[in-house]
């Protein structure tokens, strides 16, 4: 398991990216990985609520909108706890 994990971190994770809109409510989490020696691309991988992992297109507008929506939700929740 450990080796597989190390292996997967030494190369790009995404062969292709999904550019069609996925509603925020279907998304559990979104991971943004910086480009680097392991991969020249920024990679964005969403884990859906059904457990599927999907590579998102980092330049797609809706991807930015979803990330902003998650951040805004955190902000709203923090403010409601004041």
Q: Which residues bind its own copies (CB under 8 A)?
A: 1, 24, 27-36, 40-42, 44, 58-59, 63-64, 67, 70-71, 73-75, 77-78
CA angle 53, 4, 13 (to 5 degrees): 40
- 16 vs 75, beta carbon nearer its own copies: 75
Which residues have CB under 8 Å from 24's CB, separation 6+? 66, 69, 70
- 4 vs 20, beta carbon nearer its own copies: 4
C-beta of 54: minimal distance to its own copies in Å?
A: 14
C-beta of 68: minimal distance to its own copies in Å?
A: 9
């Amino acid at each position: 398991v450990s080796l597989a994990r190390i292996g997967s971190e030494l190369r790009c994770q995404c062969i292709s990216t999904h550019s069609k809109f996925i509603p925020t409510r279907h998304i559990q989490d979104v991971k943004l990985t910086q480009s680097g020696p392991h991969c020249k691309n920024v990679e964005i991988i969403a884990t859906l609520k059904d457990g599927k992992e999907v590579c998102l297109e980092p330049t797609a507008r809706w991807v930015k909108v979803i990330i902003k929506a998650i951040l805004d939700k955190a902000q709203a929740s923090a403010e409601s706890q004041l």
